[in-house]
Amino acid sequence: MEAFKFIGLHDQVYISCSVMMCEAGNPDTRCSQGCVNTTWSNNRRGKREIVTQTLMHRISQGPLRLKRSAERTESPVMNLNLNLVFIAGCLLAAVGMVSAVVMYKAKVSRVKYQPLPTFES
């Protein structure tokens, strides 16, 4: 299961998120409500809530440098070349087998058996 995926071929990325800090143990804060849908009516705060929590804070971390594995950096062109090599090998093997059968049949048809004369005295 993937939580997220990096898009593009960037070698470094920054991760950022927004967090809300609340007073620990206070049941009257927005944090005590857990995850809720944020609509306009939910964004209105009471006076008591403003005192016990801070505003949203944006946190960034980075740059994170990505080390790509050899498997992932393989280009589609390389995959296409491997497929062509495989197909060419199969065709070459098929042509070789057909040629061997044709040569065998030609050799067998050239050999003519003739009855030997019998010497009865």
The verdict on 60 and 79 lying in the same domain is no
The verdict on 57 and 19 lying in the same domain is yes
Question: What's the domain range around 58?
Answer: 12-65
The verdict on 97 and 61 lying in the same domain is no
Could you give the number of structural domains in the chain?
A: 2
* C-beta separation of 36 from 42 below 8 A: yes
Average pLDDT over residues 95-111: 89
Cα(54)–Cα(46) distance, rounded to whole angstroms? Answer: 13
- pLDDT of 89 over the 60 cut: yes
pLDDT for the residue 72: 52
Q: What is the pLDDT of residues 17-35, one digit of tens each?
A: 888 888 778 887 777 777 7
